[in-house]
Amino acid sequence: MDILGTVIRLALRGLMAYKARSLLTMLGIIIGIGAVIVMISVGRGANASIQKQISDLGANMLMVYSGSTKKGGVKGGHGSKPTLRVADAQAIARECPAVAEVTHITLRSSQVVAGEKNWNTTVYGTTASYPVVRDWRMEQGEFLTNQHMRSAANVAVLGATVVKNLFSPGEPALGGKIRINNVPFTVIGVLASKGSDPHGRDQDDTLFVPYTTFSRKLHGRRLPGVVNVIALSARSKRLVPEAKREVEELLRQKHRIAPGAEDDFSVRALDEYAQMADKTMDIMTILLTSVAAISLVVGGIGIMNIMLVSVTERTREIGIRMAVGARERDVLVQFLTEAMTMSVLGGVLGTLLGVGAAKAVGWATGWMSPIDVDAILLATLFSAGVGVFFGYYPARQASRMDLIEALRYE
């Protein structure tokens, strides 16, 4: 072991003797390992951030959108055709065993007034089970109840952004009086802040009222019983595809769609977003991994080149070592250790560079960029591997040198 210590000390002394040459040789490894570290940490940070946004939308959630209108070949997009009804949501709750909770939403942008302040936000008419499906906590008070539905009560639950814009700091929102389209409502609850959804929309800029109140007193007179979206949660992550199938089957039957005809609705699972995000991540990972791999190979070739030069330059030294009793293996180990010292040192510098870059990216984007020990371990192992692989050939050249020739070398 102490032989290795001596060899490493001598190798470092050799590297220090040719600082510029050593640094340039290590540059490939530094960049390669740095790229690996940044890739792993930023990739994980970005992915974690996307996955968190998606899971914040609601666990195991599926959305049912009404179909598209079609006027003279122009399609209106999802939700433009009023095909979904409250009765559909109730039927799903009754008849689909893979579905845990169902809610439905009718929404419209409205002007809301509280005292001297006013704010334009999206008003949702929904049911008592909405926060369960969306996995959304209350900050204060309570959410709408079935009692509120039956009585079409003038009560509202506010998102955090709406509270901020309608009430002064310190002023209690709970029990406050607001007016929506001049209809008076009492605030009975405030929702916890949920932040932006994957599209960047502020989910807290919303206001909830009972769907019965919404359709009778606010906007629903034109199309009674029609809803924009049915949202539901599957009983487990595993049951999401099963729930999707059940809902599709039930709605086709209820909407009397002939076999082979196009659905007048669409069911979308949120894990499709997650899969999409994963796929993007995978492509990015492959790209960065190839950059890192190429850089490591180029760096390795650089080390091999310098080691070959070094073996030639030090022919005499090799001869002397052999004359005083170094065996082939001793010489091989010495030069292999030097190559590895160079590549591992490059790996360490690369790791520092990568950690720095990852921190900078994390700071700039607000993603958490976790630096984990296994990434650093992997990088070190990789650089040592590069050293052994590309150092072996020069080291073998050194160990097979003819002793008499080596001693005569000038």
Partner 1 sequence: MDAPVIRFAGVSRTYPMEGELVEALRGIDLEIEQGELMAIMGPSGSGKSTMMHIAGLLDTLSRGRYELEGEDVSSLSKNQRADIRNRRIGFIFQSFNLLARCSALENVELPMLYHRPGVAERRERAMAALEAVGMADRAQHLPRQLSGGQQQRVAVARALVNRPALILADEPTGNLDTRTGREIIRLLSSLHQQGITVVLVTHDPEVGRAMRRRIFLRDGLLERDEAA
Residues in the site for partner 1, rule: CB under 8 A?
2-3, 6, 10, 13-14, 17, 316-317, 319-330, 403-404, 407
Nearest distance from residue 398's CB to partner 1, in Å? 14
What is the nearest approach in angstroms of partner 1 to the Cβ of residue 354? 32
Q: How far apart are CA 99 and CA 88, in angstroms?
A: 13
Q: What residues contact residue 339 under an 8 Å CB cut-off, 6+ apart? A: 303, 304, 307, 387, 388, 390, 391, 394, 395
Please, which residue, 95 or 330, has the CB nearer to partner 1?
Answer: 330
Shortest reach from residue 342's CB to partner 1, in Å: 16
Name the residue nearer to partner 1 (CB basis): 1 or 373: 1
Q: How far is the CB of 341 from partner 1 (least distance, A)?
A: 15
- Is 206 or 334 the residue whose CB approaches partner 1 more closely? 334
- Give the whole-angstrom CA distance, residue 109 versus residue 285: 41
Q: Which is nearer to partner 1, 247 or 401 (CB)?
A: 401
> Tokens at residue 64, please?
């049912």
Of the two residues 283 and 323, which places its CB atom closer to partner 1 in the complex? 323
Residue 135 or 317 having the CB closest to partner 1: 317
Q: To the nearest whole angstrom, how small is the minimum distance from the Cβ of residue 347 to partner 1? A: 24
Q: Look up tokens 């639950």; give the residue.
A: 157
Encoded tokens for 108: 């419209």
Helix (H) or strand (E) holding 50: helix 19-56
In terms of DSSP bridges, do strands 61-66 and 265-269 run parallel, antiparallel, or are they unpaired? Answer: antiparallel
Q: Helices in 217-327 by DSSP H: which ranges?
A: 240-254, 271-313, 315-323
Alpha carbons 61 and 237: distance in angstroms, whole number: 9
Nearest-angstrom CA–CA distance, 250 and 293: 52
Q: Which is nearer to partner 1, 173 or 331 (CB)?
A: 331
3-state secondary structure 315-347: HHHHHHHHHCCCCHHHHHHHHHHHHHHHHHHHH
Nearer to partner 1, 294 or 407 (CB): 407
CB closer to partner 1 out of 238 and 316: 316
Question: What is the nearest approach in angstroms of partner 1 to the Cβ of residue 319?
Answer: 8
Burial pattern 218-232, b for ≥16 Cβ within 10 A else e, equals: bbbeeeeebbbbbbb
Nearer to partner 1, 272 or 328 (CB): 328
Helical (H) or strand (E) element with 230:
strand 229-234
Phi and psi at 238, nearest 5°, equal -65, -30
What per-residue string of b and e applies to 35-67 under the rule 16 or more CB within 10 Å gives b?
bbbbbbbbbbbbbebbbebbebbbbbbbbbbbb
**Four-residue CA torsion sign, 205, 209, 211, 217:** negative
- Least separation in angstroms between residue 344's CB and partner 1 is 21
Output the smallest distance, CB 287 to partner 1, in A. 43
Nearest to 227 by CA among 217, 215, 216, 218: 215
Min. distance of Cβ 34 from partner 1 in angstroms? 30
CB burial class (10 A; 0-12, 13-18, 19+) of residue 288?
Answer: middle
Q: How far is the CB of 320 from partner 1 (least distance, A)?
A: 5
